[in-house]
Structure 1
């Protein structure tokens, strides 16, 4: 059975606004971030998508986005969905980040020296969390929303979705990934920006 589910990034945070590195650390949604999450909610309502189960990383920015976008408060929190840990770089200005390699290696193990995570470890962690969620729901008809983070989502879909486009821009806040899971495999159907009301990708 093919299961369709939705994966999305959290809304804008204070650190996003200040262009600070934000992985394991957390900062609250800005007023704009709340508006972005509400735009996602409006999209789901317009498309008549009502979620019966909502998962989120344990981080505040993701949980708050999940509540606003879904209209639910019984969010199921999973540590495996958390953003990459940037170690000593947490909270610093984004220009201090090393170049991001788009060949699939991301930041590699650069941040491990500074107490952070390896990109491959993040990829595997998020994939394991998504597999667990799918396993928990293989025998039901629940409509599922999963809220995570830009880096974590990118590591996941670029390596585990059969269809994996290379976006020319960063994953926008509250971007909505419509995905499928069938026979142990994930695939990407579309990426929608509910703020600007446009598709960033649609599978042909």
Structure 2
């Protein structure tokens, strides 16, 4: 089975380098273009399932998909949400560093146990994401392709935990807005794939 992660398109918050978290800004013009480009890039795949974070920017990123994958239902879920940044949502990194330097340092040093004020720890986000991933792994069968439209944080988690096998590498690697990462479930572990190498509609088995 193959799981394709798609990071949502750009929003005004992203353009201004503000933490979005659970706040709900819509895609901007660039973000909508990125959504169309991503749907086109994946349009040749034999997709059986399409999940999306229930936040607006992800649901809008998924909007171009139904016309390219007739019969595939968009399935919103809160499990795929970004980390909640609590009181820091809408702030830039520089604003946080200026207003709450000690709390910022504590959070960056130990994000699994320390949350932004009123926000969520990485452990909390990981728990809901792992529950979703476990369920997804049970539901997909060999040969299936699923697409998950999500956020930078959840995709960082998947890369560090399941591709690299090093949770401490959470901050080390991400993908851009509208970016795609594919992985195959093989021998009870996830292996990163090249999109170019994925089977397309019409390919022989």
Instruction: State the TM-score, normalizing by the size of structure 2.
Output: 0.76
- Indicate conservation of the 8 Å contact 1:175/1:191, yes or no: no
Which residue matches 1:78? 77
Q: CA RMSD in A?
A: 2.8
Q: 2:179 aligns with which of 157, 170, 175?
A: 175
Match of 1:118 among 121, 132, 136: 121
Q: Does 1:52 align with 2:48?
A: yes
Runs (4 or more) in structure 1 with deviation over 4 Å come to 162-170
Does residue 108 (structure 1) correspond to residue 98 (structure 2)? The answer is no
Deviation at 1:41, TM superposition (A): 1.7
Alpha-carbon offset, residue 39 of structure 1: 1.3
Report if aligned partners of 1:162, 1:188 keep a CA contact under 8 Å in 2: no
Assess if the C-alpha contact under 8 Å between 2:66 and 2:73 holds in 1.
Answer: no
Aligned 8 A contact 1:10 1:174 in 2: yes
Corresponding residue SS for 1:5: strand
- Name which of 158, 161, 176 aligns with 1:159: 161
Counterpart-to-counterpart distance in 1, 2:135 and 2:194:
22
Give the whole-Å Cα distance in 1 for the aligned partners of 2:115 and 2:7: 22
Instruction: State the Cα distance separating 1:182 from its structure 2 match.
Output: 2.8
**Distance in 1 of aligned mates of 2:137 and 2:54:** 18
Cα gap change, 1:50 to 1:31, in 2 (>3 Å)? farther
Task: State the structure with more CA Rg.
Answer: 2
Q: CA deviation at 1:177?
A: 0.6
TM-score normalized by structure 1? 0.77
Aligned to 1:64: 60
Q: Which has the higher contact order (CA 8 A, sep 6+)?
A: 2
Distance in 1 between the 2:156 and 2:58 partners?
Answer: 15
Higher helix share: 2
State the Cα distance separating 1:162 from its structure 2 match. Answer: 4.9
Displacement after TM superposition at 1:163 (Å):
6.5
| Equivalent-residue separation in structure 2 for 1:163 and 1:188 (angstroms) | 12
Match of 2:8 in 1: 10
Deviation at 1:68, TM superposition (A): 2.0
> Relative to structure 1, is the Cα distance of residues 32 and 106 closer, same or farther in structure 2, using a 3 angstrom cutoff?
farther
Which residue of the partner structure matches residue 43 of structure 1? 41
Deviates most, 31-40 or 168-177: 168-177
CA distance in 2 between partners of 1:142 and 1:181 (Å) = 10
Deviation at 1:116?
0.8
Cα 1:67–1:50, aligned 2, differ >3 Å: closer, same or farther? farther
* Structure 1 residues 157 and 170: alpha-carbon distance in aligned structure 2, compared to 1, 3 A threshold: closer
Where 1:177 maps in the other structure, the secondary structure is strand
Provide structure 2 residue ranges, at least 5 long, that are not aligned to the other structure.
98-103, 197-205
